Amino acid sequence: MDLTSLRILIIDDSDLSCALLSVILRSDNYNIVGIANDANTGIKMAQTHKPDVVFLDIVMPEVSGLDALPSLKKLLPNAAIVMVSGVDDNDMVTSAIQLGANGYIIKPFNTASVIGTMKKIKEKFVLAKPVPDAR
């Protein structure tokens, strides 16, 4: 799978974070299929666009990223969900992983952290391919 063919959805209430993630990902030719400023809109966009990767902010009004994570994992069981947060808290990271997150990026993020995460996600997708039966 070509790494840049992965469909990406960004869910973050911060316009600045959405814009920065978009610029970083598009500069490396990634396909952004949607940007949502709240979890409920993000879940609806996930149903429509079926992204391969979701960047999900944790602290958002109404529904937090941690609260939205189980719904997204149920809706997109094969998608990689990367939590994005300004909070560097071990308990929060542990909770996100227990709920099914595939990665965690601390704000303020930079190009290297976002692109490095995407390269690790590519490895996940490559490893997830079925292996032919050797019988």
pLDDT of residue 128: 44
pLDDT at residue 134 is higher than 80 = no
Under CATH, which number does the domain 3-127 receive? 3.40.50.2300
pLDDT of residue 2: 58
pLDDT at residue 127 is higher than 50 = no
d(CA 109, CA 107): 5
SS3 string, 77-111, reads CCCEEEEEECCCCHHHHHHHHHCCCCEEEECCCCH
pLDDT at residue 76 is higher than 90 = yes
Q: How confident is the model at residue 26 (pLDDT cuts 50, 70, 90)?
A: very high
Q: Is 8 helix (H, G, I), strand (E, B) or coil?
A: strand
pLDDT at residue 1 is higher than 90 = no
What confidence tens digit (pLDDT) does each residue in 4-24 have? 578 999 999 999 999 999 999
Higher per-residue confidence, 57 vs 94: 57
Would you say 73 and 53 are in contact if contact means Cβ atoms under 8 Å apart?
Answer: no
pLDDT of residue 126: 53
Average pLDDT over residues 19-36: 95
Preceding omega of 51 cis (within 30 degrees of 0)? no
Instruction: Sketch the domain layout of the chain as residue ranges.
Output: 3-127
Tell me phi and psi for residue 89, to 5 degrees. -125, 120
